Structure 1
Amino acid sequence: MSDFITTLFQRRQILKGAAAGAALLALPGFLTSVRAQGAKLKVAAIYTVPVEQQWVSRIHKAANAAVERGDIEYVYSENTSNTDYERVMREYSEAGHDLIIGEVFGVEDAARQVAADYPETAYLMGSSFAPKDELPNFAVFDNYIQDASYLSGIIAGAMTKSNNIGMVGGFPIPEVNRLMHAFMAGARESNPEIKFQVAFIGSWFDPPKAKETAFAQIDAGADVLYAERFGVSDAAKEKGILAIGNVIDTQADYPDTVVASALWHFEPTLEHAIEMVKAKTFKAADYGKFSFMKEGGASLAPLGTFEGKVPEEAMKLVAEKEAAIKDGSFEVEINDEEPKSS
């Protein structure tokens, strides 16, 4: 396990202690009405993985930012199994939280039933399915950061020498597939000769398995890796090749390895939900658009240590495409089909 992951786990122990204390206040006996005049919104989150996992870490970061602004009170549960998700969701609902956020990709039916049983509670859940008018208190979101992924692909295409890029993902679901396809399209934009190796490890958080899979792709000729999962950048670092990050910026931990990263910013999504709940206008809606680059939900991380090392022609193309994405004159294709090796 890398020093980066170890540091995150150490940090989590401190955060979990604080969260546990906050959770006591969320028990029914301690509750006061959040809907009272001037009270903070009570928000709870349910995560199936540790809070340092890329995707969840961005939700957690946005929630903590809302706490610091004084907008909400926030408690969370992490590493919640799919079989236990409904129970935890009901407990938070019973405790009187105004907004519950999380990810229900594996528990859609159960989660929507809970929402139906608690119509006064607002639910904003990561989901592959659409919202339904008959369940007005259940909205969905996803990390539509294909714009930034496309731009990072342009850079990757310019940096490979072997024209062979390895891609390691968690599961071939729409939210992963669309980012991989966008990355591949960007890479082909700057280098049409590229071939891709695509693999999925069947887990959202298994750094050793991701690392092992990445090693196999390096052995097969990859000299740039798309690090959709933790562990991939570790493999790249050990083998002295390059990596492109996803969702979070890890370049500080891999200064000679991670060239660029497509970042997800959950803040616009959460801020809109908070606004709607406070105004009592929350409804079934698809919050996916708030992850688009033009909405401030995605960006390309600074090149940092790789500033000046990416070919100038590629960076000019990145600037042109980014401007076109933001002004609406260019749209990155959203392709949710499972990507294949070429």
Structure 2
Amino acid sequence: MFGTTRRGLMLGAGAAAMGLALPRHAFAQETIKIAGIYTVPVEQQWVSRIHIAAEAAKAAGGVDYTYTENVANTDYPRVMREYCESGVNLIVGEIFGAEAEAREVCAEYPDVKFLLGSSFMPDEAVPNLAVFDNYIQDASYLSGIIAGAMTQTGSIGMVGGFPIPEVNRLMNAFMAGARETRPDAKFQVSFIGSWFDPPKAKETAFAMIDGGADLLYAERFGVSDAAKEKGALAIGNVIDTQADYPDTVVASALWHFEPTLNAALEAIRAGSFKADNYGVYSFMKAGGCSLAPLGTFEGKVPEAAMKLVAEKEAAIKDGSFTVAIDDTEPKSS
């Protein structure tokens, strides 16, 4: 079950391109064995960022990486135990649907380090478990500024997976950004109850377009497909899909997992890994998120909006402006 697969040229190329800021002494140290455990395919946008960062660390040397994808939440603890018994040093993944059981496994294997996506904070009683989340509200806010400037009707559709903090905060930041350039913007918000169901996301997006939305926030795969078919615009999330939707995806809020993983590897090397919140490494000032280049939409976004984006981005990076972290469930307006 531990066989590593290679999923697509995009992931392989991304791993090579994103190998930045790796520990300088990685080659001189003992190899760190990393295991990734994912509840969805590694193509799924959120998990793909973890996978690409781990592949980049492996390519740079000093790290061995294997993974298992499509693990059901009910099976997650078993897979964790199998990897622990196999002698891995670090397990990465996401435990949003298996919090209690996964934390029990972490406590059972104190010599293994865990870096897991979680909606809850670390617990000092489990010192070998550090948590993270994609706190990319900074980039989401900036993408919202662009969205507000690009919608013609003022009606924006938003399709998410589940209304949990890591989704809610991005949606709320996006909505706040959109109101900067379109104060009267109205939002249709819906959650499909799945992390990977493109057909359902697409149908939900179709309904929003029929309801007047001319721009969609694509938190899930499938939304941009609907926008493309109906001639609407879309804003991407976590990854840049503009190459696949050159006339549809205006901008995207990108997540970069490299700072998070590299910080964990440094701590392991230094013997200082502990229960900690690694979410801060997703902030823009830490290099954990960014706004994707406009690409095919360069010159098509109003100049005033892009000026505001530049001003807000500079303020975020120098600490003079902070994007609010609002984890409450967003509602349609």
Shorter chain as denominator, the TM-score bin is over 0.9
Give the Å deviation of 1:15.
Answer: 11
Aligned position for 1:87: 78
Aligned position for 1:52: 43
Kindly provide the CA deviation profile for residues 40-92 of structure 1, in whole angstroms up to 9, marking residues without a partner as x.
Answer: 10000100000000100000000000011103100000000011100000000
Q: Which runs of 4+ in 1 moved over 3 A?
A: 13-16
Kindly provide the CA deviation profile for residues 136-183 of structure 1, in whole angstroms up to 9, marking residues without a partner as x.
Answer: 000100000000000000000000000000000000000000000000
Aligned position for 2:289: 298
Q: Which of residues 61, 84, 98 is equivalent to 1:107?
A: 98
Give the Å deviation of 1:12.
Answer: 2.0
Query: 2:180 aligned with 1:189, yes or no?
Result: yes
Residues 205-244 of structure 1: matches in 2 within 5 Å?
Answer: 205-244=196-235
- In structure 2, distance between residues paired with 1:316 and 1:42: 45
- In structure 2, distance between residues paired with 1:11 and 1:278: 28
Aligned position for 2:311: 320
Q: Say how many residue pairs are matched.
A: 313
Aligned position for 2:189: 198
Q: How much identity, in percent, do the aligned residues show?
A: 74
RMSD of aligned residue pairs (Cα, Å):
1.5
Q: Which of residues 245, 250, 268 is equivalent to 1:254?
A: 245
Q: Secondary structure at the match of 2:7?
A: helix
Q: Secondary structure at the match of 1:167?
A: strand
Aligned partner of 1:40: which letter?
A: T
Residues 245-284 of structure 1: matches in 2 within 5 Å?
Answer: 245-284=236-275
- In structure 2, distance between residues paired with 1:254 and 1:116: 45
- In structure 1, distance between residues paired with 2:93 and 2:235: 26
Aligned position for 2:56: 65
Aligned position for 1:125: 116
Q: Which of residues 150, 153, 163 is equivalent to 1:162?
A: 153
Where do 5+ consecutive residues of structure 1 fail to align?
1-9, 17-36
Give the Å deviation of 1:38.
Answer: 3.5
- In structure 2, distance between residues paired with 1:148 and 1:79: 28
With normalisation by structure 2, the TM-score equals 0.92
Q: Secondary structure at the match of 1:310?
A: coil
Q: Secondary structure at the match of 1:12?
A: coil
Aligned partner of 1:242: which letter?
A: L
With normalisation by structure 1, the TM-score equals 0.90
- In structure 2, distance between residues paired with 1:46 and 1:38: 24
Kindly provide the CA deviation profile for residues 232-273 of structure 1, in whole angstroms up to 9, marking residues without a partner as x.
Answer: 000000001100000000000000000000000000000000
Aligned partner of 1:121: which letter?
A: V
- In structure 2, distance between residues paired with 1:320 and 1:178: 22
Q: Conserved in 1, the CA contact under 8 Å of 2:118 and 2:133? A: yes
